[in-house]
Amino acid sequence: MAELRVSQVECAGCGSKIDIRTGLRVKTFTCDYCGAVCDNDQVVAMQNQQEIKTRYAPMSFLKLGLRGEFLGQRYQIVGRIRLEGHDDEERWFWDEWFLMSSSGFPLWLIEDEHGFSLLRIHVPTEFIDPYGPSDTLYVAQTPFQIKERGIARLIFLEGELTWRARPGQVSNYIDCEHQHERLSIEYSQSEIQYTRGHALSVDMVRTAFAGDLPAEAATMTKKAPAEKKDPKALWYIGGIMLIAGLIALMVSFSTEKIGEVVFDEGMPRGFTIQAFPEVEFQYPSLNGKRSTFTVTSGPVVKIQFMSTTFPWGPDETGWWLTATLWEVGDKGKDKRVGVIEADFWRARGYDEGEYWEEEKFVDTTYVKGLKKGQKYYFTFAAAGFKANGRTYSAYVRVRTRVVAGAWNPYPLRMFSYGAIGLPVIMLIIFFALRHND
């Protein structure tokens, strides 16, 4: 049987000689040397040959140049495109092998994870509307069930094609079946193409190419593309993490009300804070003795200091509070437990022409290790901020609130932020990588 005649053209990218088997009908061809995708004498895209050849390797024993017999004629594989489809849950891939006979008749050998289909151009006697809502399309009174409908993106091509194509190109498609028959429609607003054929088994394809296959191909089995992944498990894990994070966040806010208030004191009068010297004070009781509190439960005690508001000074205004916690001892031998540093401030300014204000009047600390049934008290020292070389003084009051048996919400809250944020970050990275493929 006659073979395809070979002519040569120059790559528009590097000038290398490229064998062409479709003659003047060729519209797109690729260069194995520089990775150029050429539209006649113009380079329309570049493919990284070293990386992409491995990434988009054929799924089975098929390759460019193989010769086989279909429909009583001798055909040769002259081109291949890999297409990607996707929905909200997964991506899938398939190859469309382009075959040409010596008489110039084209065929398409479709290869996916389900097997092979051999298609050729079909001209229907009646218009088939791809935009119709029905799940069944009729071709010469034969009902074809729509099995898949979507948008395909071309992610790789090699060899030569008799139509213009380039990586990133998208098209609408519909795949239909009627028993062993196959019908495929590719369409856009400006054009539509119908192809029709039938399903082939792996053995049938191997037999068709038997005279041109190497010996080891006789035992090769078809494999799914390496890059196809089913990310459903990742979506499930991400969803579980998101739900767990939301539950943890709600629980963390509800824990702020847990515990018993054992001390809630405010100063009977205010005091003047200044940068230097520090002002020292403590809460007196009605009889002039120290105002103490008793820890009734544990293991966590929440200590909150609240400042009254104070006037603006420079751009940042505020004051420091040093609270020393003492354990009441026998015969006046009180024991120092620790020091809590709190700060209260107000700040304002302009950012890109917009005025802003921030402030902090409450400082919260969680303490562990205090003894149940033991009495404690505080002594204080306070000083105002020094900003822009200027001292600041203001008249303020401070209130102290102690809650025994509290629950520290911050570890749970940090977990919730991570559990919520990680799936979101994974989602952003997933779509970014898919967009760049």
Segment 138-147, tens digit of pLDDT = 998 899 999 9
Segment 347-381, tens digit of pLDDT = 888 888 888 888 999 999 999 999 999 999 999 88
Quickly list H helices, 255-390.
Answer: none
Extract the runs of DSSP E, i.e. beta strands, from 125-230. Answer: 136-139, 142-161, 170-178, 181-187, 192-200
Least confident of 3-12, 113-122, 268-277, 337-346: 268-277
Least confident of 19-33, 58-72, 184-198, 263-277: 263-277
Q: What is the pLDDT of residue 48?
A: 82
| CA dihedral (192, 196, 202, 207) positive or negative | negative
Query: Global pTM?
Result: 0.53
- Partnered with residue 18 across adjacent β-strands are 9
Q: Give the SS3 label for residue 3.
A: coil
Q: What is the pLDDT of residue 226?
A: 44
Non-local (6+) Cβ contacts of 241 within 8 A are 419, 420, 422, 423
CA distances in angstroms from 257 to 308, 338, 340, 355, 408, listed in the order given? 22, 25, 22, 35, 11
